[in-house]
Amino acid sequence: MDDVRQTVLCISSYEKGKAFLREAAALGCDVVLLTAEKLKDASWPREALADLWLMPDRLTPEQVLNTVTYHARHRRIDRVVALDEFDLEAAALIREHMRLPGMGQSTTRFFRDKLAMRQRAQRAGVLVPEFTPVLHYDDLREFMASVPGPWVLKPRSSASAIGIRKIHQPQHLWPVLEELGDEQSHYLLERFVPGEVFHVDGVTWKQQVRMSAVHQYGAPPMKVMHEGGVFTTRSIHRDSLDARMLTEIHEGLVPALGMMSGVTHTEFIKAEDDGEFYFLETAARVGGAYISDVIEHSTGTNLWREWARIEVASMRDAKYDLPRQKGLYAGSVLCLAKMPEPDLSGFDAPEVVDRLKHHHHAGLIVASESAERVNVLVKQYAGEFLERFCATAPAPADRPTA
């Protein structure tokens, strides 16, 4: 290998991915972080950073590109990684412009644009709720006449359940589109499918899915985002029919969407009416809401570190091996808290492996050899969190605040 140290540029608009930064540095890379000016004094692992570049909040991808090419006059960049969902387009533009390896703008759309990912998933034979782009109004009228309501109007590029609106009657759609104005083409209309929501978090190397960790949410994220409450997720039994079916779907879907090597977070819904799994969305990143911590406690694998190992191995044309997996099960209980520092000392089951310390939030993680024990604890603690800690706040209009 060349003696010159390679530089990995990481872009993040939020404080996250610290394990990625440390691992990339430990593997011998110069790690440069480009982040928002408001995060200048955040608890980044400074010892792992060769440089820290700052940018104003909410720059356009083109403005981020200008920032990077300015700095690139004095530092060679070998790899660009977007640690946050909202930086994927900027990273793709930088790779295209600087002719760097990795996911370009077209492929990135399959992991950011809900319309693009639905069309590609459908072509790959994966079930998707009926949908239509918000473009031609006659198509919208025909869709609502032929597909039973209610429907959901979804932003094509927002993360999680941000910006989603439920439409109950055709006449309710048009005022919403009028309000959106020129932004309406950035939405799609989809049949609302009630059911249980699952997520599969994976590791892919050279178009082969090496890991599929299957989990089930408690209340659907859309419900928690818009109505408040307690967020929970838990790993389901690996030998269950649901886990086996989702693993099989996931292993075919992710390469079909164009993922070469990296990590993904993909959501499915098991419909109440027919029991089938329908694809909801995917992202080329580590799942938020401490999902990576849950997975680490159940499998022993830290997805942030694995992502760094994958990027460095790919950059050096080296071999990558997924570490051996533990066979535990884990779950999390999280909520916005009424008090600044909730007292979690009363949650003292031996399966509690982590208590999350975050201002005005309550959260913990449980782990066990028994999937059923995890399920029981998550349900019990979710009820207690709701009664003792839970506060509500308006859902963010376009992107999360943390």
pLDDT exceeds cutoff 60 at 402: no
Burial (CB count <10 Å: 0-12, 13-18, 19+), residue 376: middle
Tokens linked to 196: 């249980």
Mean pLDDT rounded to a whole number for the chain: 94
CB 273 within 8 A of CB 207: no
CATH number for the domain that contains residue 69? 3.40.50.20
Q: Which residues contact 82 (CB under 8 A, 6 or more apart)?
A: 10, 11, 12, 88, 90, 91, 92, 285
For residue 108, is it within any domain?
no
> Per-residue pLDDT tens for 28-72?
999 999 999 999 999 999 999 999 999 999 899 999 999 999 999
Going from the C-alpha of 88 to that of each of 64, 81, 112, 159, 171, the distances in angstroms are 11, 8, 8, 11, 35
Q: Which residues contact 338 (CB under 8 A, 6 or more apart)?
A: 360, 389, 390, 391
DSSP E strand boundaries for 108-261 = 131-133, 151-155, 165-167, 187-191, 195-205, 208-217, 231-235
C-beta neighbour count of 189 within 10 angstroms: 21
Q: Judge if 68 and 151 occupy the same domain.
A: no
Q: Which amino acid is at 103?
A: M
For residue 373, is it within any domain?
yes
Q: Judge if 246 and 148 occupy the same domain.
A: no
Helices and strands (H, E) in the chain, number of each type: 12, 16
Q: Judge if 329 and 215 occupy the same domain.
A: yes
Picking from 217, 332, 208, the residue whose alpha carbon sits closest to that of residue 267 is 217
Percent of the chain having pLDDT more than 90?
Answer: 90
CB 102 within 8 A of CB 77: no
Q: Judge if 228 and 347 occupy the same domain.
A: yes
For residue 333, is it within any domain?
yes
**Interatomic CA distance for residues 182 and 184, integer angstroms:** 6
Model confidence at 399, pLDDT cuts 50, 70, 90, reads: low
**Which of 139, 170, 191 represents a domain boundary (last residue)?**
191
For residue 229, is it within any domain?
yes
For residue 125, is it within any domain?
no
For residue 214, is it within any domain?
yes
Model confidence at 386, pLDDT cuts 50, 70, 90, reads: very high
CA 149 to chain centre: 28
Q: Which pLDDT score, from 0 to 100, does residue 20 have?
A: 98
For residue 398, is it within any domain?
no
Could you give the 3-state DSSP secondary structure of residue 14?
coil
Q: Judge if 185 and 210 occupy the same domain.
A: no
Picking from 199, 249, 83, the residue whose alpha carbon sits closest to that of residue 257 is 249
Q: Judge if 88 and 59 occupy the same domain.
A: yes
CATH number for the domain that contains residue 157? 3.30.1490.20
For residue 394, is it within any domain?
no
The domain of 25 spans 7-103
Least confident of 174-188, 221-235, 336-350: 221-235
For residue 324, give the DSSP letter: P
Q: Judge if 33 and 96 occupy the same domain.
A: yes
Whether omega before 155 lies within 30 degrees of 0, making that bond cis, reads no
Q: Rounded to 10 degrees, what is the CA torsion of 302, 291, 331, 364?
A: 100
Q: Judge if 312 and 179 occupy the same domain.
A: no
Q: Which residues contact 156 (CB under 8 A, 6 or more apart)?
A: 113, 114, 115, 116, 186, 187, 188
CATH number for the domain that contains residue 206? 3.30.470.20
User: Per residue in 35-69, is it b (16+ CB within 10 Å) or e — as a string?
Assistant: bbeebeeeebeeebbeeebebeeebebeebbebbe
Q: Judge if 231 and 257 occupy the same domain.
A: yes
Q: Judge if 48 and 186 occupy the same domain.
A: no
> Per-residue pLDDT tens for 262-312?
999 999 999 999 999 999 999 999 999 999 999 999 999 999 999 999 999
Q: Which residues contact 364 (CB under 8 A, 6 or more apart)?
A: 332, 333, 344, 347, 352, 354, 355, 356, 381
**Which of 163, 191, 219 represents a domain boundary (last residue)?**
191
CB 118 within 8 A of CB 279: yes
Q: How many domains does the chain have?
A: 3
Q: Judge if 223 and 169 occupy the same domain.
A: no
Picking from 285, 377, 300, the residue whose alpha carbon sits closest to that of residue 331 is 377
**Which of 103, 121, 156 represents a domain boundary (last residue)?**
103
Q: Judge if 211 and 347 occupy the same domain.
A: yes
